[in-house]
Amino acid sequence: MSIEIEVKARVSDSESVKKRIPAGAVYLGPYEKSDQYWLIPPEYGAGPNFPSGIRVRKEKKSPEEPLTRCLVCFKIKERRDAIEVNDEKEFEVSDAALFTELLERLALVKGQGKTKTGWAWEYEGITIELSLVAGLGWFVELEILAPAAGEEAVEAGRKRLLALLNTLGITEDKIERRYYTEMLREC
């Protein structure tokens, strides 16, 4: 089990950010991620341990292949100032259509969806994603996986993420505190 410590920020010039990726970063390649959220019907109430529903993500790592890999995720989300701290559980399923049928049979309701395309790097234990989010524009997402969500781990992660954000030439006023799904609902 691990905890995500993450920050995302708006990017006005994606090419400029790409050029500022640290030289020691390992290029992980391009990606496309198509997410569909499934929610507990309002009459049942989500509750504190299942606030965001289930995310079904279809993804591919290269432009030539179809969206074939299917990852299912559920998490407990928490915002700590500009940082997201998420207790995330994720697993792969072999048949997205069959899993979707299961969600429908369990009476979950199709919620917001989103699509992201971009490039990823790994730098000193931080995943860097430069993403074009359909309908919203460019963002950089920085993420650390930590073994626990204690204050010391979160604070150390926050400092590392903000330092890397600065290295990328992105000021803290560009940090986006809302989730993508919130922003998409506002469009």
Six-digit token string for 42: 């309002």
Position 52 scores a pLDDT of 63
Residue pair 156/126 in contact (Cβ under 8 Å)? The answer is no
**Which of 92-101, 111-120, 121-130 has the highest mean predicted lDDT (pLDDT)?**
121-130
Q: How confident is the model at residue 61 (pLDDT cuts 50, 70, 90)?
A: low
The pTM score is: 0.87
DSSP strands (E only) in the chain = 3-10, 26-39, 54-60, 69-80, 83-93, 109-123, 126-133, 137-146
Six-digit token string for 9: 């920020």
- Domain extent listing, the chain: 3-186
Q: How far is CA 121 from the centre of its chain?
A: 14
Tens of pLDDT along 123-136? Answer: 999 999 999 999 99
Q: How far, CA to CA in Å, does 19 sit from each of 111, 128, 174?
A: 36, 13, 18
- The hierarchical CATH code for the domain 3-186 is 2.40.320.10
pLDDT of 103 > 60? The answer is yes
Q: How confident is the model at residue 185 (pLDDT cuts 50, 70, 90)?
A: confident
For the chain, how are helix, strand and coil distributed in percent, rounded to 5?
A: 25, 45, 30
